[in-house]
Structure 1
Amino acid sequence: MVHYLAVVTIAASTMAVAPTATQWQADYGKALAATRSDQRPLLIVLDNPADANAAVQEDLIKADGEHAELLKSYELCRVDVSTEYGKKVAEAFGATQFPHTAIIDKTGASVLFKKPGQISGDEWKSTLAKFEKGVQPVVHNVGYRGNTILGSQSGASYPAGCTACQRKAMGL
């Protein structure tokens, strides 16, 4: 009897700790509030599940699919644009082509990514990975000032910011 009780206790505690399945929210307002409170980015899919051309590919958003681990980093919201509510949300996003995918930062303040139309599996995976922290990726601008050796040989002076001048300085 004690052995049975121990097994049941362990099983119950394991179920309580097990991660929950990926849940898609149908209400954009609730999903946005959850994003702000949980500090996780919001992934929004606006589509029409009844129309194959306007629906997101199911294998991309399945809770147990290939992208499930990446999806766990996001608050998830999927809105059916064939409903009145869905049409209002689509209008707010300026979406005219479906499916329409957007990612909002973890504060719920700015849109990090927008993509109208179908999205490939590889692009989906790279996009989810790129924005999973919920912040805009840091962009490092690198400028080329031209080859000073070529510039001094020709006797010409090229403005640093002019791309045509940079190409000319490189001999291209």
Structure 2
Amino acid sequence: MLSIWMFVAAVAAPTAPAESTDAWHANYSEAVAETKQEEQPLLVVFDKPGDESAELDPSLLSAESGAFPLDSYALCHIDATTDYGKQVAEGFKVTEFPHVAIIDKSGSVVLRRVSGDVTQSEWTKVLKEHKNGDRSTAVTHSVSKPVKSTTPSFSPSVSMPSSSQGGYSKPYCPSCQLRNR
């Protein structure tokens, strides 16, 4: 009896329409676990469904559009209107929606962030750049070490006249002068 059900499931699976929404995680921690297990980069999309100005173009997210290689990424779609979505977006310090983050295949380093309207060409370019999930492709900012100057620097000094120089015997500070009266 079990073998009949397995046969029916095997025959029915290829004929059922493939839905791209099955590949998308709504839970960030599950998506990170998949990233680590499959050693794939993670694509995280933050948006607010129902708000056209804060929602990523749905055509960019469909596998049929050919806009990106669906099998190259673990996928996570966060609805930023829910309490959970707000917490995750806050953790990523997202201030503008839609927002896309690409995370390396170890699940620990954000390789790229893109906020606001994303064009099809920009989407394709960014996803192709990071499809391997290597940190070497990360957009980084380098900071140089400070340069030591060989020229002498001027540091002003203030000296107060002392009683031995014929000046004041009381301190210059107004508070101290009031106390010493």
Superimposed CA distance per residue, residues 65-112 of structure 1 (whole angstroms, 9 cap, x where no aligned partner): 2225x1220000000000000000100000010001000001101000
Question: How many Å apart are 1:138 and its aligned residue?
Answer: 5.4
What are the residue-to-residue correspondences of 1:145-164 with 2, within 5 Å? none
Residue 95 (structure 1) aligned with residue 94 (structure 2) = yes
Q: What SS does the aligned partner of 1:33 have?
A: helix
Amino acid at match of 1:39: E
Larger radius of gyration: 2
> In 1, Cα distance between the equivalents of 2:112 and 2:42?
10
Aligned to 1:82: 81
Runs of 4+ in 1 over 6 A off after TM superposition: none
> In 2, Cα distance between the equivalents of 1:21 and 1:73?
17
Amino acid at match of 2:60: L
Question: How many Å apart are 1:12 and its aligned residue?
Answer: 3.7
Q: Given the superposition, is the C-alpha separation of residues 79 and 138 from structure 1 closer, same or farther in structure 2, using an over 3 Å criterion?
A: closer
Amino acid at match of 1:135: D
Amino acid at match of 2:81: S
What are the residue-to-residue correspondences of 1:1-172 with 2, within 5 Å? 12=11, 15=14, 21-22=19-20, 23-68=23-68, 70-137=69-136
The gaps in structure 2 that reach 5 residues or longer are 1-6, 139-181
Is contact 2:111–2:137 with CA below 8 Å preserved after alignment? no
Amino acid at match of 2:24: W
Instruction: Report the aligned-residue RMSD.
Output: 2.6
- Percentage identity across aligned positions? 38
TM-score by length of 1: 0.67
> In 2, Cα distance between the equivalents of 1:50 and 1:126?
27
Q: What SS does the aligned partner of 1:127 have?
A: helix
The gaps in structure 1 that reach 5 residues or longer are 1-7, 140-172
> In 1, Cα distance between the equivalents of 2:137 and 2:52?
36
Is contact 1:32–1:108 with CA below 8 Å preserved after alignment? yes
> In 1, Cα distance between the equivalents of 2:62 and 2:89?
22
